[in-house]
Every structure is written in C-alpha cells, then in structure tokens.
Amino acid sequence: MTASLQLYGVKAPGLALSSKRLEFGSKGSSFSVTLPSSSAVFRAVEHSCRNIALRVSCEHVRVDLLERKEPETCNSSANGKELTCVMKFGGSSVESAERMKEVANLILSFPDERPVIVLSAMGKTTNKLLKAGEKAVTCGVTNVESIEELSFIKELHLRAAHELGVETTVIEKHLEGLHQLLKGISMMKELTLRTRDYLVSFGECMSTRLFSAYLNKIGHKARQYDAFEIGFITTDDFTNADILEATYPAVSKTLVGDWSKENAVPVVTGFLGKGWRSCAITTLGRGGSDLTATTIGKALGLREIQVWKDVDGVLTCDPNIYPGAQSVPYLTFDEAAELAYFGAQVLHPLSMRPARDGDIPVRVKNSYNPTAPGTVITRSRDMSKAVLTSIVLKRNVTMLDIASTRMLGQYGFLAKVFTTFEDLGISVDVVATSEVSISLTLDPAKLWGRELIQRVNELDNLVEELEKIAVVKLLQRRSIISLIGNVQKSSLILEKVFQVLRSNGVNVQMISQGASKVNISLIVNDEEAEQCVRALHSAFFETDS
Ligand SMILES: Nc1ncnc2c1ncn2[C@@H]1O[C@H](COP(=O)(O)OP(=O)(O)O)[C@@H](O)[C@H]1O
Ligand SMILES: N[C@@H](CC(=O)OP(=O)(O)O)C(=O)O
C-alpha cells in the first residue's frame, strides 16, 4: 500500500538548525528533506512512501510524519456535509451524568450543526486531582489508597458511567493509571510541573471517554480523541504551555480526515497538548479548554466557536462580586482578550487569538439556560453607542513605584528599568510613566505561580537591581480594576469613575489607558476593590444616564 505522507515540524524559536537536511528511512524506504532555515514552523514536502507513520526527533527540530491516504481536501465528509462548529462544554456543564445527558440533548437539539465537541474535566475534577497529587507527596505509599480526593474522583466517574449506562471499562484503565501515578508521586515524594500536567490530564481523558460512549449508546455515532495524540503540539512550559503553529494542519488532518471516512462526532479533550521537545503531556493553563476550542475552530476553518458555560455569556462584571451582573450581547475579540487577560475567569486569556486570526465568531452560551442569547464575539462591532462594556477585577497584584535618582538620562532610565525586568524574567502588566518615574504592576499569574521562596527572592533581587538607579517603593496587595469599553469615550468614562470613587472615598494609586483602546486600568487597595467594582457597576449599568 502506498500512503501519501505530509511532513511538518517545529523549529525551536531562536535556534539555528545544526543540519539543514534531514534523512529518514524505515522499512525499505528512505527520503530526505531540506528544511527551511528561517521559519519557526515549517510544513513541507509530500512524499509517497510505504510507511504509514514514523516519528523522527533530532536535536533542534521535531518532525512528525502523519499518515495521509488522500489528497488534502477542505473540510468535507463522505456524505458531503462538513463539520460546522465547535461546541466546548466546561467542567460545570458536565459535572454529572445528568448534566452530560442534558449536554447530549442540547447538541442533538441543533440538527443542522455537525459539531466538534470539546470537553473539560467533570466539575471540579482538576482541582481534586491537584489536591490528590499534593497529598501523595507527603502521605506515604501505603496511604495513597485513602486519599479522599482519589476516592471522590473514582466514585464520581464510576457513578457517572453507571448512570449513563455505559461500560465502566471505558475509564477503568485511567482510574488504575491514576492510582499508580499517585503511588509513584508518593514514592518520589515530589510533584514536578511535568507530573502535574500528566496528573490533571486524567480528568479530560475520562470525561471525553464517558461522553463519547454515551453518545454512541444513544445511537449518535461519536469518536473520542486525546488532544495530545492528534497534533496539539505545544511549548514545553508545563502547566502553562502555548500552542505551536504546527498544531493547525495536524489537527485538521486528523479530524477532517476521520470525519470524511465516517461521520462520527469528534469528542476532544480540552486543556491538553503534547510538548514538542519532551513529547510529554502539557496543559494550556487553567481554563485552557477554551483555547482548545478556538484552536480547533481555526484549524478546521469552522463557521462558529461556541463555548458553553454556567452563566448567560460574558457579564458586565464577575457575578461572584455582584450577582446582578448583566450579560453583554456583543464584544470584539480585542475587548474579550483584554477582559480575559485582566482576570475575567470566563475566558482563557489566550483563547481569542486563534479566533481572531481565523476571523471565526465566538459565542459564549449558558448550558443551564440555552435559550439565553449569550455573548457573540467578533472582529468588530458598532461602537457608536458603546461606553463601558464590562468591569474586571484582578486581585493581589504587586505594584512598584520607581523614581529615577537621575543617575541616568531619561532614555537610559526607562531602558534600564525594562532590561531589569527582562533579565529577571518578570512580566509587567500595567505601566504608567512620567519623565523620571514609572509605576507598574507585576503580572500576578506569572509571579504567584512560582514557589513562595522563589517569589520572595525574585522580588528582592528585582528591588535590589532597580535601587542602583532609582528609589523603589514596593506596594503589595493592590488590585487592578479594568474598565473594558470604548476608550474613544474616555473623558465620559473617567468623569463618572472619579465621581464614584470620590463619593466612596477611594484613592486611585495609578491609572493607565492602554494602547489597546479598549481598556482603562485603575489600581486601588485590595480591600477597597470589590466595593469599588460594585459602585462602578451600579453607576454605569444600573442608572439611565
Ligand atoms: N465577567 C464575567 N462574565 C461571566 N462570568 C464570569 C465573569 N467573571 C468571572 N466569571 C466567572 O466565570 C465562570 C465561568 O467560567 P469557567 O468556570 O471557566 O467556565 P467553564 O468551566 O464552564 O468553562 C462563571 O461561573 C463566573 O463565576
Ligand atoms: N479542567 C481544566 C480545563 C478547563 O478549561 O476547565 P473549565 O472549562 O472547566 O474552566 C481546568 O479546570 O482548568
């Protein structure tokens, strides 16, 4: 049999290839390929070859050869009907068998859609897995059995299998694997980031297997996929990996290829990928299934990406801060990205990128209230009447006031400050500058993700370094309140903001109107922040003016 193979690969950014020519050979066939030297990602060369698939790694480049038996078609199927959209369901949407049944009904209630389904782990499984891992580090091998979270996860998934009426065998291997892994962690007495990612992957691997088995049971043909097996290729930044370009053709090839042979609904694990260098399972950061969904949307050029949550779309503020938050009907990709980046849990911070690149609308819907219109996110929208869209709060932020001691000129000062951040690998969030001083906040997600001791050392080093050229004030426990909206109307927004803050006796410690044109950020003390958000919400969204 002759199979047509497509070759693609990923070159590590910034690395020169030691060899421009790679040679492959296996089972009676061999061929070589010249690698483009400049591009970070290449996708090249079609070969006829007797082998079906082989994987080659060399020092600076990884190359996957994927089976392809037919010339690449666009998204079409045996019966000529293409996949139409992605439907992603978060943990809250699939927290029990009952919810999975409702989600299945929901999917079937759109007979004109031929969706790719992306699922997160059931309910709070990811948190429980992490907790179980932490306990395993200290509890001793003989006590792993009695880790409460392990029993909870086992019971949750086995009960779900029973209630869905599917064979428990679909998840038994994973439950056993999880148990073994926890024993391993407990023997090693350590939980590395790499192991954490492997550990949490069990959640999505099991939820998708259960759901796919259920769809098949009710007569709706489905096929389960582990994202890390179908070409989700990522950086090796365990717990916070980024999707690499090579993912798009690979994912498209597998999903479209399989669909064209048999119209089985693809059910894909959210959140997971495979490190391009390590080949180990990676995760895309908490809430990463949104990014899985938008990546598939772009890879397949689908009409729409739907993310189904437990709220009526993106809301005017976090409903946990103010339950009266209202749903926002329209957003641009830029607004949604800014909102997610500045802390709105509802969307993964990087999830808008593939949707924006592919210009694919994202619809945020409520699986508990499917008739609610939700939020539609597109490239542009009518901003003529838009003032403020949403208020976002990011807590526990560290702020630095850095005032030049005038040992350096203005240019030298700014350059030195930012070089210091670069050298120490610390990300900055919000910045406001004057000629001789800078106020800025440090990205808490990056900083607080690190071990406490490392964090404290890093801050000490940072201050020490900056004190060579400046007087530095380190201010902890601050909050960023981000006002997402039409910055063209900033005077109007700020007028109202300062009225509200003044009447609430709140002092703003820093203010920044970013280049994004959709965000004004205010820094206040942590303890005043929630009250501020509520007052601002009431002024902007609950009065007529
Ligand atoms: N501005 C906001 N709009 C909507 N939800 C928000 C907002 N800010 C915070 N949230 C929280 O985000 C949750 C939904 O996100 P998430 O838990 O990641 O959903 P899922 O797990 O279903 O993907 C909501 O239940 C809500 O509590
Ligand atoms: N299960 C992962 C990934 C995810 O996206 O979850 P959710 O869709 O429930 O936010 C997490 O908890 O982070």
Question: Distances from the Cα of 460 to the Cαs of 250, 427, 490, in angstroms?
Answer: 44, 15, 37
The closest of 252, 230, 226, 242 to 275, measured between CA atoms, is 242
Nearest-CA residue for ligand 2 atom 5 is: 287
pLDDT at residue 454, as a whole number:
57
pLDDT at residue 446, as a whole number:
57
Nearest-CA residue for ligand 1 atom 12 is: 346
Q: Pick the atom of ligand 2 nearest to 286's CA.
A: 13
- Can you give the pTM of this predicted structure? 0.84
- Residues facing 440 on adjacent strands: 400, 431
User: In this structure, are residues 142 and 171 in contact, taking their beta carbons and an 8 Å threshold?
Assistant: no
Measured from the alpha carbon of residue 92, the closest ligand is 1
Mean pLDDT of 386-414: 85
* Alpha carbon of 444 to ligand 1 centroid (Å): 19
DSSP-H helix ranges across 165-272: 169-188, 193-217, 247-261
pLDDT at residue 253, as a whole number:
96
pLDDT over threshold 80, residue 301: yes
Ligand 1 neighbour 310 (Cβ under 6 A): yes
pLDDT at residue 37, as a whole number:
43
Lowest mean pLDDT among 59-68, 89-98, 130-139, 328-337: 59-68
Mean pLDDT of 364-369: 98
Amino acid at residue number 370: P
Q: Which residues line ligand 2 (CB under 6 A)?
A: 90-91, 120-121, 126, 203, 270-271, 286-289
Using CA atoms, how far apart are residues 420 and 400, in angstroms rounded to an integer?
13
Beta-sheet strands, E only, within 90-156: 115-119
Ligand 1 neighbour 338 (Cβ under 6 A): no
* Alpha carbon of 100 to ligand 1 centroid (Å): 19
Using CA atoms, how far apart are residues 497 and 538, in angstroms rounded to an integer?
11
**Higher per-residue pLDDT: 257 or 41:** 257
Using CA atoms, how far apart are residues 236 and 483, in angstroms rounded to an integer?
34
Mean pLDDT of 484-493: 88
Put residue 333 in one of left, alpha, beta given phi > 0 → left and psi -120 to 50 → alpha: alpha
Measured from the alpha carbon of residue 201, the closest ligand is 2
Nearest-CA residue for ligand 2 atom 8 is: 90
Residues 227-251 as b or e (16 or more Cβ within 10 Å = b):
bbebbbbbbbebbbbebbebbbbbb
**Higher per-residue pLDDT: 525 or 469:** 525
* Alpha carbon of 90 to ligand 1 centroid (Å): 10
Measured from the alpha carbon of residue 328, the closest ligand is 1
Measured from the alpha carbon of residue 270, the closest ligand is 2
From 88, 117, 318, the mutation candidate for ligand 1 (largest count of ligand atoms within 8 A of CB) is 318
Nearest-CA residue for ligand 1 atom 7 is: 318
Mean pLDDT of 286-303: 98
Could you tell me the strand order of the sheet in which 41-49 lies? 41-49, 3-11, 61-68, 55-57
ipTM field: 0.98
pLDDT at residue 211, as a whole number:
98
Q: What's the chain's average pLDDT?
A: 85
Q: Pick the atom of ligand 2 nearest to 124's CA.
A: 12
pLDDT at residue 544, as a whole number:
62
Burial of 279 per CB tally in 10 Å (0-12, 13-18, 19+): middle
pLDDT over threshold 50, residue 66: no
pLDDT at residue 32, as a whole number:
53
pLDDT over threshold 60, residue 6: no
* Alpha carbon of 345 to ligand 1 centroid (Å): 5
pLDDT band at residue 3 using 50, 70 and 90 as cut-offs: very low
Measured from the alpha carbon of residue 327, the closest ligand is 1
Mean pLDDT of 123-137: 98
Amino acid at residue number 517: K
HSE-up of 187 (CA within 13 Å, CB side)? 6
Nearest-CA residue for ligand 2 atom 12 is: 126
HSE-up of 186 (CA within 13 Å, CB side)? 20
pLDDT over threshold 50, residue 154: yes
pLDDT at residue 20, as a whole number:
47
Q: Pick the atom of ligand 2 nearest to 127's CA.
A: 12
Nearest-CA residue for ligand 1 atom 15 is: 346
Lowest mean pLDDT among 118-127, 368-377, 482-491: 482-491
pLDDT band at residue 63 using 50, 70 and 90 as cut-offs: very low
pLDDT at residue 52, as a whole number:
30
* Alpha carbon of 346 to ligand 1 centroid (Å): 3
Mean pLDDT of 106-125: 97
pLDDT over threshold 60, residue 240: yes
Q: Pick the atom of ligand 1 nearest to 316's CA.
A: 1
Residues in the chain: 545
pLDDT band at residue 416 using 50, 70 and 90 as cut-offs: confident
**Pair of tokens at residue 431:** 């910045």
Ligand 1 neighbour 82 (Cβ under 6 A): no
pLDDT over threshold 50, residue 261: yes
